[in-house]
Structure 1
Amino acid sequence: MLRVFVLVAGLFLAPSARGAEDLTALLKTNCLACHDATSPSGQLNLSALPLHPTDPRNAEVWVRIHDRVQSGEMPPKDGDPITPSDRTALLRVINEAITTEEERQTKAQGRATRRRLNRIEFENTLRDLLDAPWLPIRSILPEDAVAHGYNKVGDALDVSHVQMARYLEAADRALNGVVVERPQSPEVPIRKYYAREQSSFARKMTFSQFNTAPERAAFPVMGYTAQPKVRDGTEPMSVGAADPVARELEGIGLVQGAYEPVEPKFDQFRAPASGRYKLRIMAHSAWVGPNGSNHNLKNPKAMSPKWFIPNLDDVSAGRRSEPVTIYAEMPPRQLRRLGAFDVQPEAGIHELEVDLLAGETIRPDASRFFRSRPGETRWQNPLAEADGQPGVVYRWLEVEGPIHEIWPPRGHQLLFGDLPIRLPPGSKKKSQSVEIVSTDHQADATRLLKQFVERAYRRPVPESEQLRFLPVIQQQLALGVSFREAMIAGYTAVLCSPEFTTCHSEPGPLDDFALASRLSYFLINSEPDAELRAVAKTGRLRDPQVLRQQTQRLLDDPRRDRFVTSFIDYWLDQRKILNNSPDAGLYGDYYLDDWLTDSALEETRLYFTEMLTGNLPVRNVIDSDFTFANERLAIHYGLPAMEGTTLRKVMLPPDSVRGGLLTQASILTVTANGTTTSPVVRGAWVMDRILGKTPPKPPPVPAVEPDLRGATTIREQLAKHRNQVSCNGCHAQIDPPGFALESFDIAGGFRTRYRALAEKETRVAGLARSGQPLQFKEALPVDASGQLATGESFQDITQFKKLLLADERQLARNLVGQFTVYSTGAPVRFSDRPAIESILNEAAANGYRTADLIHALVQSPLFLNK
C-alpha cells in the first residue's frame, strides 16, 4: 500500500515493508475511499500527501497518521479492518523515514537549537553574577516568544536589534546598580515611621473629599481605646516626640482593605537605595462597635443599613487574628507583593526581610476585609455582625537597611576588585558618584576584565577571548571617559556577547561545562553555582553518580523555587491567572479578592514542590488525599475551618472533590475567562497539558456564545455545535474532560447550578467583596457527566479522575515530555520517543515518582546531548 502510495505522491522511498501489492490494495479499500481529493475526510487528502520528512509540517501530519493507526483509531471501526501485519509494515515505514531524517538533523546540528537566555534566565543570571537579588532586569527586556508551551525553546528565541538594545540597557543598569556610591561602608539606619504621621493614613482619618463615608474611614486609637476628640479634630493628631511612651501606643485603624481611594501606606518612607531591608510592623486586630439597632442576623434583607455602619468611637481589642499582606509600591500604584502575616488581638511586631527598589514605599492590606469601589456611594461590610465588625490597627513601621554583609558589596568587588574608592576632588556630598582610583589603567583594565570574563562566562575562556573587549575600554579611556565608566562599557559588551547571552554547545555530547549550564538552567533557572562549576572543572560531571548527586543537590536547594515557579507558570499557565478578572456582576464574591488569587497560586506551587521534594508518584497530578490551604482556601473549598494566611499541608476529607492539580483554584481560574466556563477550553487544556494529547486546531466555525440569561446550559449549546460533522470528531475527545470540570466555576468554587444575571427581586441574598448586594441568581443545574471517546462513562469529577488514573504511564509520559522541553529547549520529536519510553521503564517500578523522572531524564541521551 505505502510503496504505491509514495510513488503516486511523487517521492521515491525504499520502504522496508514487504508485499507492495497488498499495501496498495489496503490503501485503495481502507484509506483513499475516505481520504482522496474528492471528499477528503477530516480535510486529509492522502492522494496528494507525499511522505516528505524534511518538511516539518509534512512530518507532523505523518506522525499524526502514524499515531492514529497505531492506536487503532484508523481505519475507523465502521470500515474494513487492517491486518496486524499490514499495520506493522505501515508503521515501520513511517517510523523509519521520519526517524532517519531527524537523526540526520541531530548529527548535523543537534536536537536543540542554540538559544539565547530568556528574560527570566537573564535576570536571574545577572542577579547571581553580581550578587544583587533585587536587580529589576526582566521588565526592561521584550516579552519572550512561547513555543511548545514554554519560553525556553531555541527556535522561538530570536535576537533582534531591539533585543540587543534592551540587553545593552539592562546590562548597563545592572552594572551601575552594584557600584557603590560612597567610599566607606554606610551605617545601617533603623528608622521608625508612625502611622499617625503618614499623610495617607491621616487623610483617611480626617475625612478628606475622597473619604466622607464612615464605612471606609480610618479611626484613631490609643492602645485599644478610641479617641473621639482626635477624630473630630479637637485634639492633636499625635502627641509626637514629647511623649514617647504614648506615641508608641498611637495607632490608626481600618475596617476596609486597601483599594482606591483607601490606600494606607507608610509614605514618609522611600527606599533610599535598592537592596536588602528588614521591615518591622507593629499592629493588632480590633473590634469596632455598630451604629444602629434592630438587627436581624437570620434575614440579611431585613437588616437596618445602620447595622453595617461602624461606630468609630467604640473600639476594643480584636476577637481573632487578621491576615495582612504587605506590598511594595512604586508610584503610581505599581504594587509588588512582599509577604503576609497574621496580626493578633495583642499588639505585636511582625518582621519581613525583603528586597526593595529605590523609591518604593510600603502598603499594608488587611486581606480579609471588603474593598469598596470608586464611584459607589453606599457600602455594607460583609464581615459585620450584630455587635460590630472587625478592624486592623497599624501603629508604626520600622525599617532597617539597606543591609550590606560586606563593603564594598560582592558585585562591586567583581567589577573593581580592591581598587581605592574616593569622592571626586572638591566634592562635599557623601552620596555623590565615586571615582575608582587606578594608577595604571592598562594593567588594571587587563586584570579586571580577565577576572570578570572568567566569572561571567560559563566555560573555560582562552586568554585571547578574555581580552577581546579590552579595545572597548581603551577606546573609552582615549576619549577621556573616567576609568569607572570605561570599565562599565567593557563589562556591558561582555554581558551582551553571545557567549554570555546564549546557551552555547556544539552538536553531539555536551561537555562538562555545557552540561553544568543545562542542569543549572533547568533546576535553578540561572547560571551554575560555584560547586557545579568546580565539579565541571574536574571533568567528572558526566559520571552518573556525580551527576545524580549534583541533580539532587539542586533539587534540595531553596533556589529550586525558581524552577517550580517558572515551570508551572508555563506548563500550567499560572502566569495567566490575572488575565481575566472575575465578572463583578456574576462573581462579585470573587471580584477584588487578591487574597484568593495569591492563595491559589501559592497552593499550586507548594503542591508541585511537595511532589518534587517528596518524590511523589505522578498519580498526584490527578488525585491525592492532601493539598495546601489557608483560611481563604478552606472557605473556598469547603474544608474544615482554618484561621490565618499561611498555607499548610492539610489532609482532605474522604468525600472531597479536591486533590490533585485539576481541581485547584489556580488551574480552574486560568482555564476560565472570568465570566463563564467552557468545557471546550478546559477539555482541550486537560488533553494538552495533563494528558499530553494536543488536540488539532479547530476548523473555522462560529464559536459558542455564552448565555448570561441562564436559559440554556453550555452542554445544550455544544450539542448543536457537535452535530456538525467537521466538529464532532474532535469534540468527542475534548469535551468529556471539560464536562467533568463543569462542577467548578470561574474561580474553582464547587457548584451544582450555573449563575445568571438577575433583577433585584430574584437575586441571591448576600454581599459582594465590594460591599454591594450580589447581582446573580441560581440558574440551571450543572451536569458533570460524560463519556470518553474510548467508551467509559463517568458521572462526576471523582469518577473522571479514576478513569484518568487507569493510565498512569501516559501521565508520566506527558510530565517527562514537559520536563524535556523545559530543560533542553527543544520539543519531544518522533525519534525521541524510544528515549522517553526508556525513562518511563526505569521509573515504572516505583510508580513514576516525580524526582525519579527528573533523575532519569538528566541521565538520558536527551539531556546529555545537544
Structure 2
Amino acid sequence: RPEVGDSSMDDTQEQEAMIMLMSTYEPAEIKFDEFRAPVSGYYDLTFSGYTIWMSLDFKTVSQGRRTEPVTIYSETPPRRLRRLGAFDFEPDPTRHHMRVWLKRGESIQPDATRLVRSRPPDFENPFEEEDGMPGVAFQWMEVEGPFYDQWPEKGHQLLFGDLPIEDPAKETREGEGDRRKHLLDTLVYGPRPFVEVQSRNPAKDAAKLLKHFMEAAYRRPVPKDEYQRFLALIEDTLGKGFNFVDSMIAGYTAVLSSPAFIYLEPTAPELDGYALAERLSYFLWNSPPDTELLALAENGRIKNPYIKSQQVERLLSDPRSERFVEAFLDYWLDLRKMGDSGPDAELYPEYQLDDSLTESMPRETRLYFAELINQNLSVGHVVDSGFVFVNERLATLYDIPGVTGADIRKVVLPPESPRGGLMTQGSVLKVTANGTTSSPVIRGAWIMQRILGKEIPPPPPSVKAIESDIRGAKTIREQLALHRSQESCNKCHEKIDPAGFALESFDVMGGWRDRYRTTAKGQGEITSGVGHDGQDFRFKIGLPVDASGQLPDGTPFQDIRELKALLLQDEEQLARNL
C-alpha cells in the first residue's frame, strides 16, 4: 500500500514504490486509505511515481517504455468514486500536483487506466509482450490542507455574520501525534458539530441575521409579514431553551422550505427586474443572483437590452457558467444518459471497462461547446468544424495521430477526418446506441430533433420497433426497406432514416467501421484476441456498411461528410433550433 506522506518524509520513501500492473477493479484495488479528509475543503495533493517494465517472472523491474495515464478519484464508502483529475507518469520519476475539493470522509484512489482491468485470477494481459509488461510505480502521496478562500467561510458568514465563534476544530489543528490522529478520526467518523456562536443579545442578533439571510434566499425584497413569521419561530425556539445556533438553524430551515426560496417568481405579463435577474443567474450559473445583478434589478437597469447583454457576457465568462454547460448538454444532447448502457462484451471487447474513454467523452463535448460560446463561433460548428478536443484515448478512437497523454486539449483535425461538430463525437454516438447495435432510426430522429429542431411524431402503437440483426443475415438498411414498404411508416422514415444512415459508419462507442460485426455462425472473417478486460473474445466481420442516403427533397449524399455539407446550407435553421 503506498505511503501517505507528510512533512516528515525521508529519503527511504523516494526509493520505495508500490507497483501497479492492473487498472483498479475490485478486489484488486490500490488506495491511499491512511488519509481521509477530516473536514470538507480544498486540499493540495502531490503524487510521485514513474512507469516501469516488469519481467514475465515478476522478478525484474526496469524503466518504463512509455508514459501511462493515471486518473485520481475520491472514494466514499461503499466505493462511490468521484473523478478528481488525471495526469501522466513518465519513465523517470515525476511529481504531479492538483488542488481538489474533498468532502469530509473521502479517501484517495489512483487508477492506471490504460492497463488491463479484470478480476483475478482468470484473465490474460493484452499488453503482455515476450519480455514483460507495462506498469506504474506509486512512490507517495502528500496532502496539504484544507484551504479556504476566507475564514470563516462564506456559508458561515451568511448564517452568523461576524458574531464571535468558538472553533471546535481548534484543538484538532493544534494537537500533535496520536492525540491529533484521534481527533481527526473523530471529525471524520463522528457526528459533525456546528460551531458555537457567541451572542450577547440573541433577540437583536437573530432579527438582523434573519433579515440578511432572507434577502439572499428570496432574491428580492422580503415581505414584512413573512419576515415576522420566521422571526417568531426563532424567538419561540429560543424561548423553549434551545441555544442560539440551534434556534437560528430552525428558522433558516423553515425559510429554505418556503415557496419563495424553492420556486422562481411566477411569470407575470412582464418580468420585473428581480425576476429577470434570478432567471439569468439560475440559467447561466445555477445559483442565486450576485450583488451586481441584484443592484441592477433594484434600479431596473437590468431590463435595458444593452445592460442585459453585458450581464450575459459577464455571467458566461465566469467559471460558474460551467454549470450551465453541463446542465444544458445533459438535456439537449442527453449526456446524462452516458451510463445507461455499456458496450457488448462479445462484439466490442476493446471498449470493456474502459473508464478512461467513457469519462473523456462527455468532457470532450463540454469543452467543445464551451469553446463555441467563449469564442462566439458560428452556429455551423454544431454540425462541423476543423478541430476537436481530445486526449490520447479519444485520439486513438478517432484515428487522429500524434496525440499523447491524458490531458484533453484542442487539436486540429486531419483534412480527410470525418470528425468535427457534435454529431460525430463519441458521447453523442454512444447515447444514441444501445451498446450492442446502432439504429439509423434512433440516430436519425435524434439529429432531426436535437440538431435541426424538427418534431418527429411517435410511431403508431401497433408498429413494432426495428431491431438490428446482430446475427448478420441482413443489414439494418435491408430491414428498414421492408418496414418502409408500408405507406404509414414510410412518411416518417423518409425524414428520419437518411441522417441515421450517415452515422452507420460509427459503432456503438463512436469508432469508425466499414463493416458490421456479427456473432453468426458460418462463413466470415474471424477476429479474436484478448480484450481490455483480460478476457478472450471472438467475433466475425459481417456485411458492409452503406452510409449513403437521400434527403426528403431528393438530394443524395454518400457519407457523413456530404450530409454535414448539406445541413450547413441552412444555418438559419440550426440557429433557430439552438
Q: Deviations over 1:235-266 (max 9, x none)?
A: xxxxx999931233211111211112211111
Q: Which residue of 1 aligns with 2:35?
A: 269
Q: Check the 8 A contact 2:4/2:35 in 1, yes or no.
A: no
1:307-361 deviations in Å (ceiling 9; x for gaps): xxxx322112222221111111111111111111111222122111111111111
Q: Return the alpha-carbon distance in structure 1 between the equivalents of residues 91 and 541 of structure 2.
A: 38
SS of structure 2 residue aligned to 1:741:
helix
Deviating beyond 4 angstroms after TM superposition, the runs of 4 or more aligned structure 1 residues are 240-243, 427-434, 758-762
Asked whether the 8 Å contact 1:671–1:685 carries over to 2, the reply is yes
Question: CA offset at residue 455 of structure 1?
Answer: 2.2
Q: Does 1:406 align with 2:406?
A: no
What is the distance in 1 between the residues matched to 2:402 and 2:352?
22
- Match of 2:347, SS state, is coil
- Aligned residue number for residue 443 of structure 2: 682
Residue number among 106, 116, 125 corresponding to 1:360 in the alignment: 106
Q: Which residue of structure 2 lines up, in the alignment, with residue 725 of structure 1?
A: 487
By how many angstroms is 1:775 displaced?
Answer: 2.3
Q: What is residue 179 of structure 2 aligned with on the other side?
A: none
Partner AA of 1:550 in structure 2: Q
Return the match for 1:639 from 386, 395, 400.
Answer: 400
Deviations 1:802-826, CA, capped at 9 Å, x for gaps = 11112111111111xxxxxxxxxxx
| 1:281-680 mapped onto 2 (5 Å cutoff) | 281-289=47-55, 291=56, 311-373=57-119, 377-422=121-166, 433-680=194-441
- The change in CA–CA distance for 1:641 and 1:386 in structure 2 (over 3 A counts) is farther
Question: What's the RMSD between the two structures over aligned residues?
Answer: 2.3
Q: For residue 758 of structure 1, report the CA deviation from its aligned partner.
A: 5.7
SS of the aligned residue for 2:13 comes to helix
Kept in 1, the 8 Å contact 2:471–2:519? The answer is yes
| Bigger strand share | 2
Paired position in structure 2 for 1:702: 464
C-alpha distance in 1, partners of 2:375/2:300? 31
Q: Aligned in 2, Cα 1:331/1:506: closer, same or farther, shift over 3 Å? A: closer
1:708 CA displacement: 2.0
Say which one has the larger Rg: 1
Residues 1:337 and 1:759: Cα distance change in structure 2 (over 3 Å)? farther
Partner Cα distance (1:505, 1:456) in 2: 16
Match of 1:751 in 2: 513
Task: Give the unaligned 5+ runs of structure 2.
Answer: 173-182, 188-192
Match status 1:195 vs 2:8: no
The answer (yes or no) to whether the contact 1:759–1:775 under 8 Å persists in 2 is no
How far the C-alpha of 1:645 sits from its partner, in A, is: 0.8
The CA deviation string for residues 281-311 of structure 1, in whole angstroms up to 9 with x for no partner, is: 111111223x3xxxxxxxxxxxxxxxxxxx3
Name the amino acid aligned to 2:313.
Answer: Q
Cα offset, 1:580, TM superposition: 0.3
Deviates more, 1:434-443 or 1:479-488: 434-443
- Between 1:635-644 and 1:382-391, the stretch displaced more is 382-391
Deviation for aligned residue 1:423: 7.5
| Superposition pairs of residues 766-805 of structure 1, within 5 angstroms | 766-805=529-568
Taking the aligned partners of 2:48 and 2:525, their CA distance within structure 1 comes to 45
TM-score, scaled relative to structure 1: 0.62
2:3 touches 2:141 (CA, 8 Å); kept in 1? no
TM-score scaled by length of structure 2 = 0.92
Amino acid at match of 1:391: G
Distance 1:478 1:736 in 2: 72
1:758-769 → structure 2 map (5 Å cutoff):
763-769=526-532
What secondary structure, in the 3-state scheme, does the structure 2 residue paired with 1:763 have? strand
Counterpart residue type for residue 728 of structure 1: N
Alpha-carbon separation, structure 1, partners of 2:210 and 2:431: 47
Q: Which residue of 1 aligns with 2:454?
A: 693
Could you give the per-residue CA deviations for residues 491-527 of structure 1, whole angstroms, max 9, x where no partner exists? Answer: 0111111111111045122222211111112222221
- The alignment-based identity, stated in percent, is 55
Letter in 1 for 2:560: I
Q: Secondary structure at the match of 1:654?
A: coil
Q: Which amino acid aligns with 2:26?
A: E
In the other structure, the counterpart of 1:742 is 504
Shift of 1:695: 0.5
Structure 1 stretches lacking a partner, 5+ long: 1-193, 199-239, 292-310, 816-866
d(CA) in 1 for partners of 2:402 and 2:97? 27
Question: Residues 724 and 444 from structure 1, CA distance in 2 versus in 1: closer, same or farther, beyond 3 angstroms?
Answer: same
The whole-number CA distance in structure 2 between the counterparts of 1:805 and 1:345 is 46
**Counterpart Cα distance in 1 of 2:122 and 2:466:** 37
Whether the aligned pair in 2 keeps the contact of 1:449 and 1:467 (CA below 8 Å) is no
1:257 alignment partner, one of 18, 23, 39:
23
Contact conserved, 1:278 with 1:351, CA < 8 A, in 2? yes
Q: Give the letter for the 2:122 counterpart.
A: R
Q: Give CA-to-partner distance per residue, 1:525-557, whole Å, 9 cap, x none.
A: 221122222332332112222222111111211
- Secondary structure of 2:136 counterpart: strand
